[in-house]
Amino acid sequence: MSWIWFGVLVILVVLEASTMALVSIWGAISALIMIFLCRTGMSVAYQVLIFMVMTLVLIFTTRPLVIASRKKKTENDGINTLVGQEVRLSKAIKPFDKGLAVSKGGVTWTVVAADGSSIPEGSVCTVVSVEGNTLSVKLKEDQE
Q: pLDDT tens, 7-66?
A: 999 999 999 999 888 889 999 999 999 999 988 888 999 999 999 999 999 999 998 888
- What the chain holds in terms of domains, given with CATH numbers, is 2-75 (no CATH), 79-143 (2.40.50.140)
Task: Judge contact between 22 and 58, C-beta under 8 A.
Answer: no
- Is the pTM higher than 0.85? The answer reads no
Look at residue 39 in the predicted model and tell me its pLDDT. Answer: 85
Taking only the tens place, the pLDDT of each residue in 108-130 is 999 999 988 899 999 999 999 88
